[in-house]
């Protein structure tokens, strides 16, 4: 048994040494981690160096022009006085860590994220840079939205570096027309009409919502960042959308006209038509598309018949959206 003792001792001391080494190593590791997190505590107000991030001050030495065009925007102002770690990254919050770029003395290939048509980053990569900060609020339903799935980039519609027009400052922005430019490449509806050519044609038609007059614009009804509702609508159905402004049409009615309660778009197209009152089809055909079995409408009438006068079924059926009159079952009053 005697000969085993030195072995035991050796084993014990080996274990001890191992533990000591581990402790020492983790102490070093903790120290390194400390030096890495330390600057965050004593951080300067604006962006800063951190790992592969070099900080806005470094970028500005070569890109003063971009800084000038960025610092007066809503985002630029916030990144000069950052509140979160992401905002502290400044330029690199969007363009990615710039260490390699700076060490190479610049160059288009060395910057991790570039935007626009000649960028080698995919649209998804470009958008991810924005979504780091903007995935909540109005962007909650961006993922899988029509625009996302057709690879539309945030920067197809937005520009982020521009001089802030005086009229855009706080109060001015809220009292300005709907078509005012808010970090957008173009004002509405032109912005949307670049791609939605069909809508462009419709807006020129004789009957249209007051887009040109600036009372309604595409985002009065749609959220281009996506929504849980059909057709990126702000409201859950077409009717809820219409009724949010045309409240007098909501009812309840004693006598309901079923197609009205079902969908305003049965008869109207809100983007514009060549018929009066945004009707998809002129009267009486808009009525006849459903009422084929009734007596007077579809029956052959003398040319001068009062039933066809001025093509106006609503000359008599004036309460076509619903009636509250006790004898309004035919929407005559």
Q: Choose one: 14-22, 27-35, 37-45, 324-332; the region binding ligand HEC (CB under 6 A).
A: 324-332
Beta bridge partners of 273: 207
**Exactly one of 67, 121, 253, 323 binds ligand HEC (CB under 6 A); which one?**
67
Closer of 43 and 192 to ligand HEC (Cβ): 192
**Site for ligand HEC contains 106 (CB under 6 A):** yes
Among 48, 121, 241, 323, binds ligand HEC (CB under 6 A): 241
Query: Does 127 interact with ligand HEC (rule: CB under 6 A)?
Result: yes
272 binds ligand HEC per the rule CB under 6 A:
no
Rounded Cα distance between 162 and 236, Å, is 35
Task: Specify the residue for token string 């030195």.
Answer: 6
HSE-CB at 152 with a 13 A cutoff on CA atoms is: 20
Work out whether 273 is an interface residue with ligand HEC (CB under 6 A). no
* Cβ proximity to ligand HEC, 1 vs 278, nearer residue: 278
Stretch that binds ligand HEC, among 1-9, 10-18, 30-38, 252-260 (CB under 6 A): 252-260
Closest separation between CB of residue 29 and ligand HEC, Å?
28
- 51 sits in the region (left: phi over 0; alpha: psi -120 to 50; else beta) called left
Query: From the list 100, 123, 131, 319, which residue makes contact with ligand HEC (rule: CB under 6 A)?
Result: 131
Q: Does residue 191 bind ligand HEC (CB under 6 A)?
A: yes
Size of the site for ligand HEC (CB under 6 A): 131
The answer to whether 323 contacts ligand HEC (rule: CB under 6 A) is: no
Contacts (CB under 6 A) with ligand HEC, residues 210-239? 210, 215-216, 218-222, 224-225, 231-233, 238-239
Which residue among 43, 46, 74, 123 contacts ligand HEC (CB under 6 A)? Answer: 74
**Residue of 48, 50, 121, 129 that binds ligand HEC (CB under 6 A):** 129
Tokens of 35: 């030096």
Residues 282-321 that bind ligand HEC (CB under 6 A): 283-284, 286-287, 289-291, 294-297, 306-307, 312-317, 320-321
Rounded to 5 degrees, what angle do the CA atoms 225, 228, 232 make? Answer: 50
- For the residues of 140-192, what is the DSSP string, one character each? TT-TTSHHHHTT--HHHHB----PPPGGGSHHHHHHS-TT--SSBSS-TTHHH
Q: Determine the interface stretch with ligand HEC among 1-9, 11-19, 23-31, 56-64 (rule: CB under 6 A).
A: 56-64
Provide, rounded to whole angstroms, the least separation between the CB of residue 55 and ligand HEC.
7
Contact with ligand HEC (CB under 6 A): which of 52, 80, 112, 114?
114
> What is d(CA 233, CA 317) in angstroms, rounded to the nearest whole number?
31
Longest dimension (CA), the chain: 130
Q: What gap in Å lies between CA 296 and CA 240, rounded to an integer?
A: 33
CB 116 within 8 A of CB 159: no
Q: 182 to each of 126, 147, 186, 193, 253, how far by Cα in Å?
A: 20, 19, 9, 17, 41
Binding range to ligand HEC, per CB under 6 A, among 10-18, 26-34, 35-43, 92-100: 92-100
Binders of ligand HEC among residues 6 to 45 (CB under 6 A) are none
Check residue 128 for interaction with ligand HEC (CB under 6 A): no
Cis amide bond preceding 189, omega within 30: yes
Which of 137, 182, 138 is closest to 159 using CA atoms? 182
């Amino acid at each position: 048994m005697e000969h085993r003792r030195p072995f035991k001792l050796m084993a014990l001391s080996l274990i001890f040494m191992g533990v000591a080494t581990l402790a020492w190593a983790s102490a070093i590791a903790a120290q390194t981690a400390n030096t890495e997190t330390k600057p965050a505590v004593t951080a300067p107000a604006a962006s800063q160096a951190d790992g592969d991030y070099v900080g806005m001050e470094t970028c500005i030495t070569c890109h003063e022009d971009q800084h000038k065009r960025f610092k007066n925007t809503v985002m630029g102002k916030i990144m000069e006085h950052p509140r979160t770690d992401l905002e502290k990254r400044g330029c690199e919050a969007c363009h990615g860590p710039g260490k390699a770029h700076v060490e190479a003395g610049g160059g288009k290939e060395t910057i991790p994220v570039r935007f626009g048509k000649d960028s080698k980053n995919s649209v998804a990569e470009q958008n991810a840079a924005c979504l780091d900060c903007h995935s909540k609020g109005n962007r909650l339903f961006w993922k899988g939205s029509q625009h996302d799935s057709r690879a539309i980039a945030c920067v197809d519609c937005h520009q982020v570096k521009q001089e802030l027009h005086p009229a855009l400052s706080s109060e001015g922005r809220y009292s300005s027309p709907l078509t005012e430019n808010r970090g957008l490449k173009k004002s509405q509806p032109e912005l949307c009409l670049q791609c939605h050519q069909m809508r462009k044609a419709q807006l020129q038609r004789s009957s249209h919502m007051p887009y040109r007059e600036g009372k309604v614009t595409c985002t009065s009804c749609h959220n281009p960042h996506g929504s849980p509702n059909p057709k990126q609508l702000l409201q859950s159905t077409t009717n809820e959308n219409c009724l949010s402004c045309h409240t007098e049409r909501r009812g309840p009615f004693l006598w309901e006209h079923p197609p009205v309660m079902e969908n305003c778009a049965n008869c109207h197209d809100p983007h514009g038509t060549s018929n009066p009152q945004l009707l998809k089809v002129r009267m009486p055909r808009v009525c006849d598309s459903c009422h084929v079995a009734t007596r007077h409408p579809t029956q052959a009438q003398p040319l001068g018949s009062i039933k066809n006068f001025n093509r106006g079924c609503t000359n008599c059926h004036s309460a076509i959206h619903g009636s509250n009159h006790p004898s309004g079952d035919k929407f005559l009053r």
